[in-house]
Structure 1
Amino acid sequence: MNRRNLLKRITIDKNILCGKPVISGTRISVELILEKLANGLSVKEITEEYGIQEQDVRAALIYAQKTIANEEVFEVI
Protein backbone atom coordinates (compact mmCIF):
# COMPACT_ATOMS: atom_id res chain seq x y z
CA MET A 1 0.00 0.00 0.00
CA ASN A 2 1.48 3.37 -0.98
CA ARG A 3 1.81 6.39 1.29
CA ARG A 4 -1.14 8.25 -0.22
CA ASN A 5 -3.47 5.29 0.30
CA LEU A 6 -2.20 4.84 3.85
CA LEU A 7 -3.03 8.47 4.65
CA LYS A 8 -6.66 7.74 3.71
CA ARG A 9 -6.74 5.68 6.92
CA ILE A 10 -6.50 8.94 8.92
CA THR A 11 -9.65 10.98 9.56
CA ILE A 12 -10.06 14.46 11.01
CA ASP A 13 -13.57 15.24 12.22
CA LYS A 14 -14.36 18.04 14.65
CA ASN A 15 -16.94 15.75 16.28
CA ILE A 16 -14.40 13.02 17.07
CA LEU A 17 -11.79 13.76 19.78
CA CYS A 18 -12.18 17.51 19.17
CA GLY A 19 -10.80 17.20 15.65
CA LYS A 20 -7.61 15.31 16.46
CA PRO A 21 -6.45 12.99 13.65
CA VAL A 22 -7.63 9.43 14.30
CA ILE A 23 -7.60 6.07 12.58
CA SER A 24 -10.71 6.06 10.40
CA GLY A 25 -13.69 4.39 12.02
CA THR A 26 -12.12 4.52 15.49
CA ARG A 27 -11.34 6.92 18.30
CA ILE A 28 -7.68 5.85 18.28
CA SER A 29 -5.65 9.02 17.77
CA VAL A 30 -2.41 9.43 15.89
CA GLU A 31 -1.10 11.01 19.09
CA LEU A 32 -1.89 7.85 21.10
CA ILE A 33 -0.14 5.61 18.58
CA LEU A 34 2.96 7.84 18.60
CA GLU A 35 2.96 7.90 22.40
CA LYS A 36 2.78 4.10 22.59
CA LEU A 37 5.63 3.72 20.08
CA ALA A 38 7.72 6.31 21.96
CA ASN A 39 7.14 4.36 25.18
CA GLY A 40 8.54 1.21 23.61
CA LEU A 41 5.46 -0.75 22.57
CA SER A 42 5.88 -2.73 19.38
CA VAL A 43 3.61 -2.36 16.39
CA LYS A 44 2.25 -5.83 17.15
CA GLU A 45 1.46 -4.87 20.75
CA ILE A 46 -0.36 -1.73 19.61
CA THR A 47 -2.39 -3.54 16.96
CA GLU A 48 -3.41 -6.24 19.41
CA GLU A 49 -4.22 -3.83 22.26
CA TYR A 50 -6.30 -1.43 20.16
CA GLY A 51 -7.73 -3.72 17.48
CA ILE A 52 -6.16 -1.85 14.58
CA GLN A 53 -3.97 -3.01 11.70
CA GLU A 54 -0.26 -2.57 11.05
CA GLN A 55 -1.16 -0.26 8.15
CA ASP A 56 -2.95 2.01 10.64
CA VAL A 57 0.25 2.40 12.66
CA ARG A 58 2.20 3.11 9.48
CA ALA A 59 -0.42 5.68 8.48
CA ALA A 60 -0.02 7.43 11.84
CA LEU A 61 3.75 7.60 11.34
CA ILE A 62 3.38 8.96 7.82
CA TYR A 63 0.85 11.54 9.02
CA ALA A 64 3.23 12.69 11.76
CA GLN A 65 6.17 12.87 9.34
CA LYS A 66 4.16 14.93 6.83
CA THR A 67 2.94 17.26 9.57
CA ILE A 68 6.47 17.93 10.80
CA ALA A 69 7.84 18.25 7.26
CA ASN A 70 5.41 21.10 6.59
CA GLU A 71 6.08 22.83 9.89
CA GLU A 72 7.59 26.31 9.71
CA VAL A 73 10.25 27.24 12.26
CA PHE A 74 10.88 30.86 13.21
CA GLU A 75 13.78 32.19 15.22
CA VAL A 76 12.67 33.98 18.37
CA ILE A 77 14.77 37.03 19.10
Structure 2
Amino acid sequence: MPARLLYNGSNEDPMPHWQPAAYKEYQWIVADPQLLGGKLAIRGTRLAVSLILECLAGGMTLDDIDQSFDCDFPRQALPEVLKVASEFTDSFHVAA
Protein backbone atom coordinates (compact mmCIF):
# COMPACT_ATOMS: atom_id res chain seq x y z
CA MET A 1 0.00 0.00 0.00
CA PRO A 2 1.46 3.43 -0.91
CA ALA A 3 2.23 5.94 1.81
CA ARG A 4 -0.58 8.37 2.44
CA LEU A 5 0.08 12.05 2.34
CA LEU A 6 -0.75 14.11 5.38
CA TYR A 7 -2.91 17.21 5.08
CA ASN A 8 0.08 19.48 4.39
CA GLY A 9 1.08 17.42 1.35
CA SER A 10 4.18 15.80 2.84
CA ASN A 11 4.96 12.44 4.39
CA GLU A 12 6.32 14.09 7.54
CA ASP A 13 4.02 14.67 10.48
CA PRO A 14 4.16 18.45 11.18
CA MET A 15 3.15 17.91 14.82
CA PRO A 16 4.57 14.50 15.78
CA HIS A 17 3.87 14.82 19.50
CA TRP A 18 0.45 16.45 19.31
CA GLN A 19 -2.45 14.30 20.43
CA PRO A 20 -6.03 15.59 20.15
CA ALA A 21 -8.00 15.75 23.38
CA ALA A 22 -10.24 12.80 24.13
CA TYR A 23 -13.97 13.51 24.29
CA LYS A 24 -15.34 12.47 27.69
CA GLU A 25 -14.31 8.88 28.45
CA TYR A 26 -14.11 7.80 24.82
CA GLN A 27 -11.06 6.07 23.41
CA TRP A 28 -11.79 6.77 19.73
CA ILE A 29 -13.72 10.06 19.83
CA VAL A 30 -11.74 13.29 20.15
CA ALA A 31 -12.66 16.97 20.31
CA ASP A 32 -9.87 19.46 19.84
CA PRO A 33 -9.92 22.99 18.37
CA GLN A 34 -6.84 22.10 16.30
CA LEU A 35 -8.68 19.27 14.55
CA LEU A 36 -11.66 20.02 12.29
CA GLY A 37 -12.39 23.21 14.21
CA GLY A 38 -13.29 21.28 17.35
CA LYS A 39 -15.86 18.98 15.76
CA LEU A 40 -16.04 15.50 17.24
CA ALA A 41 -13.70 13.33 15.18
CA ILE A 42 -12.32 9.81 15.00
CA ARG A 43 -8.89 9.50 16.64
CA GLY A 44 -6.11 9.04 14.11
CA THR A 45 -8.19 10.39 11.21
CA ARG A 46 -9.55 13.68 9.93
CA LEU A 47 -13.06 12.23 9.79
CA ALA A 48 -15.80 13.99 11.74
CA VAL A 49 -18.28 11.85 13.66
CA SER A 50 -21.08 13.70 11.85
CA LEU A 51 -19.57 12.75 8.47
CA ILE A 52 -19.42 9.06 9.42
CA LEU A 53 -23.04 9.15 10.59
CA GLU A 54 -24.13 10.90 7.40
CA CYS A 55 -22.31 8.32 5.28
CA LEU A 56 -23.83 5.40 7.18
CA ALA A 57 -27.31 6.95 6.97
CA GLY A 58 -26.80 7.27 3.22
CA GLY A 59 -26.15 3.54 2.92
CA MET A 60 -22.35 3.53 2.72
CA THR A 61 -20.44 0.63 4.23
CA LEU A 62 -17.23 1.09 6.22
CA ASP A 63 -15.32 -0.16 3.18
CA ASP A 64 -17.06 2.51 1.08
CA ILE A 65 -15.96 5.14 3.61
CA ASP A 66 -12.36 3.87 3.48
CA GLN A 67 -12.32 4.12 -0.31
CA SER A 68 -14.14 7.45 -0.56
CA PHE A 69 -11.94 9.27 1.94
CA ASP A 70 -8.67 7.34 1.39
CA CYS A 71 -8.40 6.31 5.02
CA ASP A 72 -8.50 3.26 7.20
CA PHE A 73 -11.56 3.82 9.37
CA PRO A 74 -10.86 2.03 12.67
CA ARG A 75 -13.67 -0.51 12.98
CA GLN A 76 -13.33 -0.43 16.78
CA ALA A 77 -14.52 3.19 16.69
CA LEU A 78 -17.97 2.42 15.28
CA PRO A 79 -19.66 1.55 18.61
CA GLU A 80 -18.38 4.84 20.07
CA VAL A 81 -19.62 6.79 17.03
CA LEU A 82 -23.09 5.36 17.57
CA LYS A 83 -22.96 5.87 21.34
CA VAL A 84 -21.99 9.54 21.08
CA ALA A 85 -24.78 10.06 18.52
CA SER A 86 -27.21 8.47 20.95
CA GLU A 87 -26.04 10.80 23.74
CA PHE A 88 -26.66 13.84 21.57
CA THR A 89 -30.14 12.74 20.53
CA ASP A 90 -31.04 12.16 24.18
CA SER A 91 -29.76 15.58 25.25
CA PHE A 92 -31.76 17.82 22.91
CA HIS A 93 -35.37 18.62 23.64
CA VAL A 94 -37.80 20.31 21.31
CA ALA A 95 -40.54 22.45 22.81
CA ALA A 96 -43.99 21.22 21.86
Name the TM-score class by shorter chain: 0.7 to 0.9
Residue matched to 2:75: 54
Instruction: Give the unaligned 5+ runs of structure 2.
Output: 1-23
Q: Which has the higher contact order (CA 8 A, sep 6+)?
A: 1
Q: How many residues align?
A: 70
Q: Give me the CA root mean square deviation.
A: 2.0
Residue matched to 1:9: 28
Match of 1:8, as an amino acid?
A: Q
Residue matched to 1:37: 56
Q: Which structure shows the higher helix fraction?
A: 1
Return structure 1 stretches of 4+ with deviation > 2 angstroms: 43-46
Please report the TM-score for the alignment, with normalisation by the length of structure 2.
0.61
Percent identity over the alignment?
31
Structure ID, larger Rg: 2
Match of 1:72, as an amino acid?
A: H
